[in-house]
Structure 1
């Protein structure tokens, strides 16, 4: 038995005993469960499995610590009312907000953070990592780290623009249909049904094949695909609001449709719509990355995470994880946004712990 294994189990047992002595029930259950799992994994996989568990637990603890500090920082700098809401946010939501903040900083300040240009050739093809290239070079000799930083601006920026377009179109149509009703509601509803009946990927590929893989075409195609989903939710939420007595009172006062939407309906439907915006962003982000992987998204030499996975996929055959880094960046942002959306949905539902 190696010294690492002995120290590992002594540390876990000692931490479990301390948690039990100070009556920290949740910490004790977590630590002793980890001890039992490590015991089984140690028998099956040996010291290597225990090292993997230790590294994973250390990374989780580090992420939890960073999330806690970031949440407390937001509580301090935020206004009092918002600070009280942020204080109740779980660590998963704080972790999601920290990741979103990190991506935003990387995208906004990409020219200052990236050591090289996104299309600058500085080495030979697939050059290994060194002091100047943290992640090595791609198939053309461009710095992978710089292209990932620029990809945060290009990929996330395109997905955010398409989401805003889809959300504006769908939310406006849904609010208008719920407020006016009648034939307008029927026409918009049937149009949404027709668009939703077409598979999203097939529709996007058809649009891009006809009009070309340009940024404007991508935004319009994605907005048309996801606007009906936003329309359905907005129509349902606003439909529950328009039947309220204060809406009828406003109509009797002679208020116009614009006033009803801006002053009466929209303030009472903001929470679920904001949560839906986060979900739609995840769907749009994954679709944009998938289109780029297929070669119909953002075109070279512009850095894009989806195309970076495709361009460097041959490295996987040689045991290199470089193509997985942009894929991990896509997955991490998707998970982070979902963490924040889950918390917002919990708050808007009115549930209490």
Structure 2
């Protein structure tokens, strides 16, 4: 027979234990902060891309001052560029090209890559091999080299820049989607759908895609960041968006001569590119981390 004191001691010890927060729960406030910071930065530039040209105080190409690389003032909040144009107006207008082209190219890259990645799992083996070889060939070419070759061959235009970005980053989206779809295609519910006689498109759209949509969206966010940097790099080389239009990369290239003077004309667009990519990275990282902690 157990002694009564021993039982009471056990009850006190057991009842005095406090629940310990899991690592995921302890990290939740930090994840929320990162998510809101990323969402704020990214959302700000999306709003600028939509409404920026309407809010610009001056036309993009208007000469508003005789002072080049002018500092911040009440008339020109971000100073003037190398030709005396208002930098705030040029950034508000140029952000539409940077954000808009990157979003379009990222959407097309993910749609093409994920679409082929799912369908190839359900197609005959020889067709899957042919499609995989095509994407493997494209992914072996560096993105900037592909863009430079295409621009050198066909000239610079906005549709060509989008096409170059899609050809550069759709293969990566294909490989990720194909890997996930291959694993999902072996699961029981997909086999049951095949046994019911469902078509390949139905299986891809309603059985496989819903279970990989979060990973595809996360990958699309990363493609967006890569494409922003690609388009900005092309514009910095003078092979991107051409005058009289300009994106953020073009604004950096135009005013690079003012870097030694610390001119806002070169610092402001560079900071704009940095905050856009940092915001997108923080948002993607918080979403992917929270998804992983939910699984745990």
1:167 matched to 2:110: yes
Q: 1:206 deviation in Å?
A: 0.6
Q: RCO (CA 8 Å, sep 6+): is it higher in 1 or 2?
A: 2
Which residue among 157, 160, 168 is the counterpart of 1:225? 168
Identify the residue that residue 294 of structure 1 maps to in structure 2.
237
2:69 touches 2:264 (CA, 8 Å); kept in 1? no
2:69 touches 2:265 (CA, 8 Å); kept in 1? no
For 1:1-353, list aligned pairs within 5 A.
89-124=31-66, 125-350=68-293
Distance 1:264 1:271 in 2: 14
Distance 1:256 1:202 in 2: 40
Could you list the runs of 5+ residues in structure 2 that have no partner in the other structure? 1-27
Q: Deviations over 1:280-324 (max 9, x none)?
A: 111011001000000111111213110111111111122334312
Q: Deviations over 1:123-156 (max 9, x none)?
A: 2233343221111111222110111111221111
Q: Deviations over 1:98-124 (max 9, x none)?
A: 111211211111133211111222222
Q: Deviations over 1:205-233 (max 9, x none)?
A: 01011111100001011101101000000
1:153/1:230 Cα in 2 relative to 1: closer, same or farther (>3 Å)? same
Distance 1:161 1:352 in 2: 31
1:272 touches 1:348 (CA, 8 Å); kept in 2? no
SS in structure 1 of the partner of residue 64 of structure 2: coil
Distance 2:31 2:93 in 1: 31
Moved over 6 A (4+): none
Q: 1:352 deviation in Å?
A: 6.8
Q: Deviations over 1:258-286 (max 9, x none)?
A: 10111100000011111101111110110
2:70 touches 2:263 (CA, 8 Å); kept in 1? no
Identify the residue that residue 74 of structure 1 maps to in structure 2.
none
2:113 touches 2:173 (CA, 8 Å); kept in 1? yes
Length-normalised TM-score, structure 2: 0.86
Could you list the runs of 5+ residues in structure 1 that have no partner in the other structure? 1-85
Distance 1:344 1:193 in 2: 29
